[in-house]
A and B are shown apart, each in its own frame.
Chain A
Amino acid sequence: MATKHLFASGHTACAGCGQAIAARLVVDAAGPNVIIANSTGCLEVFSNIYPRTAWEVPWIHSLFENPASVASGVEAGLRYLGKLDKIRVIAQGGDGSSADIGFQAISGMFERGHDILYVCYDNGAYMNTGIQRSSQTPFDANTTTTPPGSKSFGKTTPHKDLVRIFAAHDIPYSATASVAYPTDVQRKVKKALDIRGPKFLQIYVPCPLGWHHDPGLTYNIAQLVVETGLFPIVEYENGELASVRTIKEPKPVEEYLKLQGRFRHLFGTPEGEAEVKKIQAIADANIRRLGLVKEQPKKEAAAAEPAAEETAEKETPAEKETPAEKPAEEEKVSELKKFTLEELAKFDGKEGRPAYVAYKGKVYDVSESAIWDEGDHLGMHEAGKDLTAELEDAPHEEDNIFEMPLVGELEG
């Protein structure tokens, strides 16, 4: 293999394990000059068994609740040795470790201001010990310690808002991500590691075994949880909400729930339906609180739009951008809108804005492309720019860009 991963193949994670995906994305983004302190849990157990380990970087595991404290010691030791400039420190664990038994240690680490990135792999339960509930288990989920039965629908409480709790420590960066958007995960790891000080990243990782879903659905479920609003993708900086990933068309929570056996008990009875409505209310509340569904920019719209935040079901905002979206037929060239580079820069794909790129003098709308994610192209390029030079180095041909809707031309 030409690509060298810092988390090697041959580990014993279940097929389709979300945490295995995330752990590799994190360490690859961090690079070789990193030391990782890991909690006990699935990742620790499936990544090594003497004499074998999948880790290609220095890695230490001690106990269940102490990766944050061990990392604090590693970081202080590196500072003493004068090596903290070159070597970054990551502490990581599952949701059981991070939100429950190891919560105190993370809080202490953040309060002391250590230069450490803490990564929480959130699959919503104590998986390694056999799928028991943690404080991150979602409302109504089936776990072995919150099983549904004649007197129960599963877990009776929603989960803690970890990213906000840790943001309340006023650390420089506290964010969430999902393995459905792998380049976003890596972008956030790199962004965090560029910051000196305490950082938190919570990555949503489906668990085929614990959630009772087909291993091939990991990607879809990790995407649906975001598209329903149940797991908001946010960034807090210094305690303030700095960005949210907007949802163009929120999906009903049923689409997410019905793919997983751990919610099967909610389907087929009127009582179960009532529970699903409660889960929908949680999603709706997230959407409202964080403004996850944004109005489209008014300057491009011909018609006034209804307030998009208030109603759940609506037309897709993308279709409303029609004035800017023109077919790429040649006879329309003379009517193409002109963009200066400054104007182009505004179409960066963030916060619900369209994503435009310029190539050889023409401006294309890449918002709907599967591989442009909120204005980010595979962690390598950004929308709102002239990418003519960059396309020379692309592994694909220019016909990829010609498939995108033509929306204008570049001035000058």
Chain B
Amino acid sequence: MLVPITAKPGTSRRNLTGSWRIAYKPHFLQQDCIACKRCLLICPEGCIDGDKKNTYHCDYDYCKGCGNCAAICPKDDIEMVPEETEL
């Protein structure tokens, strides 16, 4: 008898970790962005995406609100704002 002893790839996506946020979330101003991609690279959740300048954004379903994207942005184009803020 065999029960499944492995897990299928990428199934973690069912877990919406955005629910962890309580205090702050990132606001991607999309004004002075130079598309350096550093926010995309530093996000521990891998939930920031973008292509050309001023297109970078995050998936709030997964963002835990850590704020490292705002810290690394060389243009200060990401701000951490209170969770309730309408964006």
| Chain B binds chain A | yes
Cα of A378 to Cα of B37 in the assembled complex, Å: 8
Closest A residue to B18 by beta carbon equals A9
Where the two chains meet, the residues of A that have a C-beta atom closer than 8 Å to any C-beta of B are 1-3, 5, 7-13, 15-18, 20-21, 24-25, 47-48, 50-57, 179, 182-183, 186, 208, 214-220, 370-371, 378, 394-397, 400
Interface presence of B71 (CB below 8 A) = yes
By a CB distance below 8 angstroms, the chain A residues around B10 are: 8, 53-56
Q: Which of A8, A219, A400 contacts B12 (CB 8 A)?
A: A8
Q: Is the beta-carbon distance between A9 and B46 smaller than 8 angstroms?
A: yes
How close is A392's CB to chain B, nearest CB, in angstroms? 13
By a CB distance below 8 angstroms, the chain A residues around B65 are: 15, 215
Closest A residue to B46 by beta carbon equals A5
Given A9-B62, A15-B66, A219-B72, residue A395 in contact with residue B44 (CB < 8 A): no
Interface presence of B84 (CB below 8 A) = no
Q: Using an 8 Å CB-CB cutoff, how does the interface string of B16-57 with A read, 1 for contact, 0 for none?
A: 110010000000000000111110111111110101110000
Q: Is the beta-carbon distance between A216 and B38 smaller than 8 angstroms?
A: no
Q: Is the beta-carbon distance between B51 and A2 smaller than 8 angstroms?
A: yes
By a CB distance below 8 angstroms, the chain B residues around A25 are: 41
Cα of A395 to Cα of B35 in the assembled complex, Å: 6
Cα of A219 to Cα of B7 in the assembled complex, Å: 32
Cα of A362 to Cα of B13 in the assembled complex, Å: 48
Given A15-B20, A20-B44, residue A51 in contact with residue B7 (CB < 8 A): yes
Q: Is the beta-carbon distance between A53 and B8 smaller than 8 angstroms?
A: yes
Q: Is the beta-carbon distance between B74 and A371 smaller than 8 angstroms?
A: yes
Q: Which of B8, B38, B43, B49 contacts A2 (CB 8 A)?
A: B49
Known: A9-B47, A15-B20, A48-B12. 4 other contacts (CB 8 A): A11-B45, A52-B14, A395-B51, A395-B53
Given A8-B46, A9-B62, A16-B44, residue A52 in contact with residue B20 (CB < 8 A): no
User: How many residues on B have C-beta within 8 angstroms of the other chain's C-beta atoms?
Assistant: 43
Closest A residue to B36 by beta carbon equals A371
By a CB distance below 8 angstroms, the chain B residues around A370 are: 36, 74
By a CB distance below 8 angstroms, the chain B residues around A47 are: 12
Q: Using an 8 Å CB-CB cutoff, how does the interface string of B44-87 with A read, 1 for contact, 0 for none?
A: 11110101110000010110111110111010000010000000
How close is A12's CB to chain B, nearest CB, in angstroms? 7
Q: Which of B35, B41, B68 contacts A218 (CB 8 A)?
A: B68
How close is B45's CB to chain A, nearest CB, in angstroms? 5
Q: Which of A3, A11, A54, A214 contacts B40 (CB 8 A)?
A: A3
Q: Is the beta-carbon distance between B11 and A53 smaller than 8 angstroms?
A: yes
Cα of A20 to Cα of B37 in the assembled complex, Å: 17
Q: Is the beta-carbon distance between B41 and A182 smaller than 8 angstroms?
A: yes
By a CB distance below 8 angstroms, the chain A residues around B45 are: 9, 11, 20
Q: Is the beta-carbon distance between B66 and A10 smaller than 8 angstroms?
A: no
How close is B11's CB to chain A, nearest CB, in angstroms? 4
Q: Is the beta-carbon distance between B9 and A1 smaller than 8 angstroms?
A: no
By a CB distance below 8 angstroms, the chain B residues around A183 are: 41
By a CB distance below 8 angstroms, the chain A residues around B68 are: 16, 21, 215-216, 218-219
Q: Is the beta-carbon distance between B11 and A51 smaller than 8 angstroms?
A: yes
Selected A-B contacts with CB under 8 Å, 11 pairs:
A9-B45, A11-B15, A11-B17, A47-B12, A51-B7, A52-B7, A182-B38, A182-B41, A215-B67, A216-B67, A219-B68
Q: Is the beta-carbon distance between A17 and B44 smaller than 8 angstroms?
A: yes
By a CB distance below 8 angstroms, the chain B residues around A219 are: 42, 68, 71-72
Given A51-B11, A216-B67, residue A10 in contact with residue B62 (CB < 8 A): yes
Cα of A47 to Cα of B17 in the assembled complex, Å: 13
By a CB distance below 8 angstroms, the chain A residues around B41 are: 21, 25, 182-183, 186
